[in-house]
A and B are shown apart, each in its own frame.
Chain A
Amino acid sequence: MQTFFLATSLVILLAVLLSLYRVIKGPTIIDRIIGVNVIGTKTIAVILLTGFLFERVEFFIDIAFVYALINFIGTLTLSKYFERKGVEHGRVT
C-alpha cells in the first residue's frame, strides 16, 4: 500500500511539473493564476498522500486544510485584482 501511495504521488508530481510550464510560459497573467490554482489543488492531494506514507495523517490533514483555504482565497483575490486592473497590463515576460 505504501508503494502505491508513493507511485500516485509521483504521478501527481509529474502533473505539477506540466502545470508549472504554463505558469512560467503563460501568455497572459490569467494563465499564470490558473496554473498556480491547479498546482495548489494537486498539492493538497500530495500532502495527504505524504501523510499516509508517514502514517501521520492526523497531523498532515490540518496542513492540507490550511493549504486549501490559502489556495482558494489567493486565487479569488488575484482574480478580483486583475479584473479591475486589466488582464493585458499584467503581462510579464
Chain B
Amino acid sequence: MMAIAVVLVSSGAFFLLMGAIGLLRFPDFYTRMHAAGKCDTLGSLLVLTGLACSEGLALTSVKILVMALFIFVTSPTAAHAVVRAAHRNGLAFWTNEEAR
C-alpha cells in the first residue's frame, strides 16, 4: 500500500510541477490555460488518491477521496468559466507571426 502511495504522490507532484512550468513558459493565455487546467486537475487527483492510499481504510481516507471527487468536478468548471470570460471579451489568439 505504501509503494502505491509513493508512486501516486510523486507522479502527482511531477504533474503539478509540469503544469506550473507550462503556466510560466507558454506564449498565450489560451495555451497557458491548456497547461494549467489539465495538469492541475490530474496532479491534485493523483496526490489526493496517493494520500488516501497511504492512510488505509479509515474515515479520513474516505474524506480525502470525496475531496478528490469535488476537485475533479470543480477544477474544470472554474477553468471553463475563466476561458469563457476571456473568449467573450475577444482576447486575441497567439499566432506564429509574433514569434518571428
Contact = CB atoms under 8 A, between A and B. Distances in A.
Interface of A: 1, 4-5, 8, 11-12, 14-16, 18-19, 21-22, 27-28, 30-31, 33-35, 37-38, 41-42, 44-45, 48-49, 52, 57-58, 61, 64-65, 68, 71-72, 75-76, 79-80, 82-83, 86-88
Nearest to A4: B6
Interface residues of B, dominant DSSP: helix
A83 B78 contact: no
A48 B17 contact: no
Contacts of A72: 74-75, 77-78
Contacts, number: 139
19 contacts: A8-B47, A18-B23, A28-B86, A30-B86, A30-B91, A34-B79, A34-B82, A35-B23, A37-B78, A42-B20, A42-B40, A44-B71, A61-B64, A64-B67, A65-B63, A75-B82, A82-B85, A83-B88, A86-B89
For the complex, would chain A's binding face be called helix, strand, loop or mixed by DSSP majority? helix
Nearest to B70: A68
A68 B23 contact: no
Q: Can you list the 9 inter-chain pairs with the closest CB atoms, starting with the nearest? A: A83-B85, A15-B20, A18-B20, A87-B89, A75-B78, A72-B74, A79-B81, A79-B85, A79-B82
Interface residues of B, number: 45
B21 A18 contact: yes
A24 B67 CA distance: 29
